[in-house]
């Protein structure tokens, strides 16, 4: 399967800093062996649409509403994202689950809302350190994925899945390739049980991925790409990770 390297800028950037980063990325990423996208804060999507037009880099958002339109102050719908050329949207990132109390069910409905608009949801799952230490990793990620399977059964093969252990996010503590592979194998088995098209679903790893550890992580059998936070904010670092996926 073609590898995918997606950047998640989180709540970082400015028009000026984005312009420099996007120029460098647009020049450094060629269409080919690996699919590359950046997930930017909503106010910058118009900038991405303008700068990345004709480039090999896909546009991603970081969240969307589960609703289609109406009295939902502050929310952004999938149809709105589509108008800015958005092809991917993160759903269920651990920072949304943790700071915005997003439940498994809401995440599943957000994935459904994205699919209904022709946007690929990048469904994030992952355990906290306490859950890992309590031996609950497998149960937690299986439960998070099960909610998405239940709501999106017939379109499941259109999603991208990302395993992001919460304890590895922004901490510099990467899961070892073996730790990550073990969870990816669990998720792959769950997908295979849910759909005959499971082979089409990429499962990305995220959590302190950088230019030094990317190659080994990406060489694991069930790791189909990376979801990169901090290292996606520096063009040179992100491009080195992209190079590891080619």
Closer CB to ligand 13P, residue 43 or residue 170?
170
- Residue 97 CB, nearest approach to ligand 13P (Å): 12
**164 noted as active-site residue:** yes
The set of residues, in sequence order, having a beta carbon less than 8 Å from that of 142 and lying 6+ positions away, is 186, 187, 190
- Residue 213 CB, nearest approach to ligand 13P (Å): 10
- Residue 176 CB, nearest approach to ligand 13P (Å): 15
Please tell me which residue in 95, 127, 164, 184 is annotated as part of the active site: 164
Closer CB to ligand 13P, residue 8 or residue 181?
8
* Contact by Cβ (8 Å): 62, 40: yes
- Residue 83 CB, nearest approach to ligand 13P (Å): 24
32: left (phi over 0), alpha (psi -120 to 50) or beta: left
Binding site for ligand 13P (CB under 6 A): 8, 93, 164, 169-170, 206-209, 227-231
Round to whole Å and give the CA distance between 115 and 121: 7
Per DSSP, the three-state class of 16 is helix
* CA-angle at 25, arms to 38 and 9, nearest 5°: 30
Round to whole Å and give the CA distance between 23 and 29: 10
Closer CB to ligand 13P, residue 81 or residue 194?
81
Please tell me which residue in 67, 93, 105, 127 is annotated as part of the active site: 93
7: left (phi over 0), alpha (psi -120 to 50) or beta: beta
Closer CB to ligand 13P, residue 118 or residue 170?
170
**105 noted as active-site residue:** no
Which sequence positions are flagged as catalytic?
93, 164
């Amino acid at each position: 399967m073609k590898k995918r390297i997606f950047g998640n800028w989180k709540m970082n950037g400015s028009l000026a800093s984005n312009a420099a980063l996007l120029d460098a990325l647009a020049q450094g990423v060629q269409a080919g062996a690996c699919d590359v996208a950046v997930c930017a804060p909503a106010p910058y999507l118009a900038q991405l649409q303008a700068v990345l037009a004709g480039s090999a880099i896909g546009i991603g958002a970081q969240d969307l509403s589960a609703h289609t339109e109406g009295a939902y102050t502050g929310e952004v719908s999938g149809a709105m994202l589509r108008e800015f050329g958005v092809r991917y949207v993160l759903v269920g990132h651990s920072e949304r689950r943790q700071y915005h109390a997003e439940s498994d069910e809401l995440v599943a409905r957000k994935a459904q809302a994205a699919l209904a608009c022709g946007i690929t949801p990048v469904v994030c799952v992952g355990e906290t350190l306490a859950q890992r230490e309590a031996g609950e990793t497998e149960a937690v990620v299986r439960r998070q994925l099960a909610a998405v399977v239940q709501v999106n059964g017939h379109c499941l093969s259109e999603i991208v899945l990302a395993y992001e252990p919460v304890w590895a996010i922004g901490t510099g503590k990467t899961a070892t390739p073996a730790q990550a592979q073990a969870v990816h194998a669990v998720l792959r088995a769950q997908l295979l049980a849910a759909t005959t098209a499971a082979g089409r679903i990429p499962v990305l790893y995220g959590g302190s991925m950088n230019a030094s550890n990317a190659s080994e992580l990406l060489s694991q059998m069930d790791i189909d790409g990376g979801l990169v936070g901090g290292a996606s904010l520096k063009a040179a670092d992100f491009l080195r990770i992209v190079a590891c996926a080619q």
